[in-house]
Structure 1
Amino acid sequence: MSGAVIATPLTRLVGVRHPIVQTGMGWVAGPRLVSAAAEAGALGILASATMSVERLRAAVREVRSRTDAPFGVNLRADASDASERVRVIVEEGVRVASFALAPSRELIARLKDAGVVVIPSIGARRHAEKVAAWGADAVVVQGGEGGGHTGDVATTVLLPQVVDAVDIPVIAAGGFHDGRGLVAALAYGAAGIAMGTRFLLTSDSPVPDAVKARYLAAGVKDVTLTTKVDGLPHRMLRTEMVDALERSGRTTALLRAVRHAAAFRRESGMSWARMVRDGLAMRHGKELTWGQVLLAANTPMLLRASMVEGRTDIGVMASGQVAGVIEDLPSCAELVERVMTEAHTALGALPAVR
């Protein structure tokens, strides 16, 4: 356990020792990683989008059996069963609900009435202003450097905009992996940092060793931003599958999407009707083909191929640009202690203001 402590509005809000969040990554942020991050003093976030509702409840209970520390659950706000998942969070006494998309005013109110801390992720100042007005307790601000679905505004530009716009704690994401980054985020006015790729690349992460080796071997330029996976900007490692998707025509993409849709339906237990509703929700306001809608609803299967099965030839590997500067696989405890020690060293090295 690190003796270096920096108290911020985030640590006070959620009750963790350190202003660090382990993000909810599908197929990666399960009970093993979340409990290890929580025990290390960070806020571990369980990824629920790739779980059935029943599996989510079991996963929450497994985390609690491993640690007494606070943790959270990440939800897709546009999922047709979001209300059922919220019920699990409330009934199981989960401390934090985080969202990949902005939740509705009603969903925020329901969670807050139950004493759950609500932390949506946003990629634009106006979105932060909206959820803050609706009662969100904090926001995660992800810049374009971040992995998975992301925007095109750099963290260093987006973060200060949001800090200036809202009066709730702001957590910085996108491009963070060490203590220097934490100090930089705090200097911008953030209450902490959120890291995905850095926690994925730990010994506590369930990702197969061969896949971790692919990440460690990657340079900054091996991380690409593509819209060919599901029609939305998605940052990931360049792999055989990404190359194939970018070369494929509409018919091939549609056939591949249908296969993945069927596979995800079997994996998740979802009905075709629910999958179509979720796909339509993701299509709202976006010019996506039906093939892209199917892939948008079933991108988890492409992630599963790599992150669970180790099949990087047929899967995708979501990744922040920081993968290009990460070189080791510490435990969560070692990582958090290192970040906090580096942060204190960086603070001590700053020149005195005269």
Structure 2
Amino acid sequence: MNITTLLGIKYPIFQGGMAQIALHPLVGAVSNAGGLGLIGSGGLTADSLREEIRKTKEITDKPFGVNLMLMMKNIPELIEVIIEEGVKIVTTGAGTPAPYMATFKEHGIKVIPVVPSVKIAKKMEALGVDAIVAEGTEAGGHVGETTTMALLPQITSAVSIPVVAAGGIADGRGIAAAFALGAQGVQVGTRFLATVECPTHENFKLAVVNADDTSTIVTGRSIGGPVRSIKNSMVEEFLKLEKQNASRDELEHISLGSLRKAVFEGDTDRGSVMAGQICGLVKEITTVEEMITTMFAEAQEVLNKLGNTTIVERELVHA
């Protein structure tokens, strides 16, 4: 079964479950446009997640899901809310969904973990998950080490369940490339940051639009929590301390509350502007619907052209 049939969506595109950003205005707009909107539950209480789910239902009657960062201590409470509110799709990260699989299955919830390696992808398939998001290091926020171009074909060759590509996708060419490498869909984060419905400060959106291909960098590798964001004074200070082998406490003191500063206060100098390497391709702020329909029209155009393209010309041999 392909990913659109599995989830009941029109376009095979997930909106990334970005913490403090992927909230009802964006989620509802994505689902209404035919994609899969995902509420980012990172940092939410059970009550605030319930509120986000109900507000999303007021916006759309289309399928949407919740992203769970499994390292959070209140995961059991969040899952209880998901069940009570009738949400039927969950994506997961930062841990294994193994302890909760029986509960998810019992309530007919489809489980789609985000994975950074073939080894983990195989483990997730063995657990009985419904699909996998293969995310490359180009993505914004918390990242692995392998690029999407290298990771995706290896995972699609290793598992038999649907695979969704993530990391470095912001236009139709990226979608077409993902399908060429075996994916059945894509997950996009950075491009959704520059949409009208994205509930971030305008400064955050402009930081993404004004970024280029070299604007992002990864911090936190020394403490086992790599995060990709746009360079600014806070990031530079963080990296300087990292090189000096600063303690985790010192580094966390600098970054504490930094995402909130950028998202809600518009402080793009001392806040954390999490975005992927593809941000240099994001040139304007559009509506979600315009973004999705344009990307898939571009993807179809690319695939149509490739259908008429001969990669290797056959040499004519004359007697």
Which residue of structure 1 aligns with residue 289 of structure 2? 333
Note if 1:38 corresponds to 2:31: yes
Please state how far the C-alpha of 1:352 moved relative to its aligned partner: 3.5
Contact 1:102–1:121 (Cα < 8 Å) also in 2: no
Relative distance call for 1:234 and 1:106 in structure 2 (3 A) is same
**Which SS does the other structure have where 2:199 is aligned?**
coil
Where in structure 2 are the equivalents of 1:294-333 lying within 5 Å? 301-333=257-289
Mapped contact 1:177–1:322 kept (Cα < 8 A): yes
Asked if structure 2 preserves the Cα contact closer than 8 Å seen for 1:197 and 1:323, the reply is yes
- Superimposed CA distance per residue, residues 21-68 of structure 1 (whole angstroms, 9 cap, x where no aligned partner): 101111111000000000000001100112111000010000001100
Q: Hey, which of these two has a bigger chunk of helix by percent?
A: 1
- The answer for the alignment partner of 2:315 in structure 1 is none
Deviations 1:210-252 (A, max 9, x none): 2211111111111111227965211110011111222347999
**1:316-353 alpha-carbon deviations (Å, 9 max, x no partner):** 11110011111011111001110111111112111437
Correspondence list, 1:269-308, <5 A? 289-291=248-250, 301-308=257-264
Partner of 1:236: 229
The structure, 1 or 2, with the larger RCO (C-alpha pairs under 8 Å, 6+ apart) is 1
| Distance in 1 (alpha carbons) for counterparts of 2:158 and 2:149 | 15
Q: Is the alpha carbon distance of 1:152 and 1:249 closer, same or farther for their aligned partners in structure 2, counting shifts above 3 Å?
A: closer
1:133 maps to 2:126 = yes
Of 54, 58, 61, 1:61 maps to: 54
1:236-275 deviation per Cα after TM superposition (whole angstroms, max 9, x unaligned): 1001111122234799977xxxxxxxxxxxxxxxxxxxxx
CA distance in structure 2 between the aligned counterparts of 1:162 and 1:329, rounded to whole angstroms: 33
* 2:107 equivalent to 1:114: yes
1:62-211 equivalence runs, <5 A = 62-211=55-204
Q: State the alpha-carbon separation in 2 of the partners of residues 173 and 210 from structure 1.
A: 25
Task: Calculate the aligned-residue CA RMSD, in Å.
Answer: 2.2
Residue from 273, 279, 303 that aligns with 1:347: 303
| Corresponding pairs, count | 310
Query: Greater shift after overlay, 309-318 or 327-336?
Result: 309-318
Deviates more, 1:299-308 or 1:333-342: 299-308
**% identical aligned pairs:** 35
Partner of 2:175: helix, strand, or coil? helix
Gap regions ≥5 residues in structure 1? 1-7, 255-288
Q: TM-score scaled to structure 1, two decimals?
A: 0.83
Distance in 1, matches of 2:237 and 2:165, equals: 33
What secondary structure sits across from 2:134 in the alignment? strand
**Alpha-carbon distance between aligned partners in 1 of 2:113 and 2:29, rounded to the nearest angstrom:** 23
Give the distance between the partners of 1:163 and 1:117, measured in 2 at CA: 19
CA 249–125 in structure 1, closer or farther in 2 if over 3 Å, else same: closer
Note the alpha carbon deviations across 1:70-93, whole angstroms, 9 max, x for none: 001011112221111111111111
Distance 1:309 1:250 in 2: 29
Per the TM alignment, residue 103 of structure 1 is displaced from its structure 2 partner at its CA by 2.5
1:338 corresponds to which letter in structure 2? T
Distance of 2:255 and 2:67 partners within structure 1: 17
One-letter code aligned to 2:299:
A
- SS where residue 335 of structure 1 aligns? helix
On the 8 A contact 1:102/1:127 being kept in 2, the answer is no
1:203-282 map, 5 Å: 203-227=196-220, 231-248=224-241
Q: Confirm or deny: 8 A CA contact 1:140 1:172 kept in the other structure.
A: yes
AA paired with 1:172?
A
Q: Which residue of 2 aligns with 1:49?
A: 42
Residue number in structure 1 paired with 2:313 = none
In structure 2, how many angstroms separate the alpha carbons of the residues matched to 1:92 and 1:19?
24
When residues 135 and 249 of structure 1 are mapped into structure 2, their CA distance, relative to the original with a 3 A threshold, is closer
Answer yes or no: is the 8 Å Cα contact 1:236–1:320 preserved in 2. Answer: yes
Taking structure 2 as the reference length, the TM-score comes to: 0.91
Partners of 2:63 and 2:222 lie apart in 1 by: 34
